[in-house]
Amino acid sequence: MSFLKELRNRELAYALVRKIKEVFPKKPIKICHVCGTHEWTIVHYGLRSLLPDNIELIAGPGCPVCITPALDIDQAAELALEGKTVTVFGDVSRSVGVKYSLEAVRSEGGNVKIVYSILDALKIAKSDKSKEVVFFAVGFETTAPLTALHILRTPPKNFSILSSHRYVPPAVITLYSRGKLEMDGVIAPGHATTISGLKTYEPLAKEHGIPVVASGFEPVDVLMSIIMLVKQISEGKAEVLNQYSRSVTWEGNVKAMQTINRVFELTDAHWRGIGTIEHTGFVLRKEFKDYDARYKYGLKNVNYASEMHPGCRCAEIMLGKIKPTQCPLYMKVCKPSKPVGPCMVSIEGTCRIWATHIAFS
């Protein structure tokens, strides 16, 4: 792994920045990424400040906690209040639905347990089979195969999942074609694309003329990906290229995708603050419906008039329309210690990333 040192090398990063400044025309270019970890790299290493003014880096909806519907959070919280044990990732527990957060429900005596993975949730379910245990399954295609793997291993009957798993490629393509996400080029999310394969982004290039580059997460990785996009944009090309070839392949992790597809099917699904996007929600196939908390407990779909808190502008932040600093709540009432909007919750949320890097606060 000695190459990692080179991918964090300051001189190489500066050389790439000089190249971007010297070689390419000064026309305005919007590059969108859809991964909280890419936003972290960009903010942590100050990449925006290094780039010329004509290149704008936009953070798209790349944070699973941010887009998890308020209804799902409230329903998970209600299950805990009814006496079921709800197992959840730590960051998800802090996201506030319309009525509840799981963290608040836990502090009021609700049975909420923080887990690192679905395996921990299963251990809890197996330890006392008289107790109903629900795993709040949040995450993109990177996390969904882990859930699928355990559903195939026949969990105990007192175990079920509330799936908020989402599939990124069709979401990016649909949001672009609807004009909701503006971009001249896209950085594909390195680890989600490790699973789905680079081929899933091909329609963006072929049908919409948007160049795509799958990128790693070191600062030199991201700068290389930017240059690979800027070069294509300036030459009028739109290809699907792979900067992160040590992990991403054209076909992806076929075993993982097969595991997902055996357990889940894709359905039209809600993305918080963004709306319904076709074929982006992983729901359990009929044969596994006994493990589906929505079926098991008869959870009903409810349309909230608004699923964002008054003043919260996460919906626009997730589509790159505004910066966190333009939100009236940012670092005033909405802070990492007491998040109001979902983008302030997770280390992948744009507001949270900006807030924890003092220069931007």
Partner 1 sequence: MCLAVPAKVVEKVGNVAKVDFGDNTLREVDVSLVDVSVGQYVLVHAGYAIQVLDEDEALKTIELLSEILSE
Interface with partner 1 by CB under 8 A: which residues? Answer: 1, 3-4, 6-7, 12, 15-16, 19, 23, 35-37, 63-65, 89, 91, 116-117, 119, 138-140, 142-143, 145-146, 149, 189, 191-192, 194-195, 216, 220-221, 224, 227-228, 243-247, 253, 255-256, 259, 346-348
Closer residue to partner 1 (CB): 89 or 100: 89
Closer residue to partner 1 (CB): 6 or 290: 6
Minimal distance, residue 155 CB to partner 1, in Å: 15
Strands 133-139 and 159-165: parallel
Helix (DSSP H) and strand (DSSP E) numbers for the chain: 18, 11
The residue whose two tokens read 């991918």 is: 7
Closer residue to partner 1 (CB): 36 or 203: 36
* Alpha carbon separation from 9 to 38, 222, 258 (Å, rounded): 17, 12, 38
Minimal distance, residue 300 CB to partner 1, in Å: 27
The residue whose two tokens read 């998970």 is: 76
Closer residue to partner 1 (CB): 263 or 329: 263
Closer residue to partner 1 (CB): 118 or 329: 118
Minimal distance, residue 255 CB to partner 1, in Å: 5
Beta strands in 123-263 (DSSP E): 133-139, 159-165, 185-188, 212-214, 240-242
How far is Cα 35 from Cα 135, in angstroms, rounded to an integer? 24
- Residue in 67, 89, 88, 91 with CA at minimum distance from that of residue 76: 88
Torsion of CA 313, 319, 64, 349, to 10 degrees: -60
Closer residue to partner 1 (CB): 264 or 329: 264
Minimal distance, residue 96 CB to partner 1, in Å: 18
Cβ count within 10 A of residue 96? 23
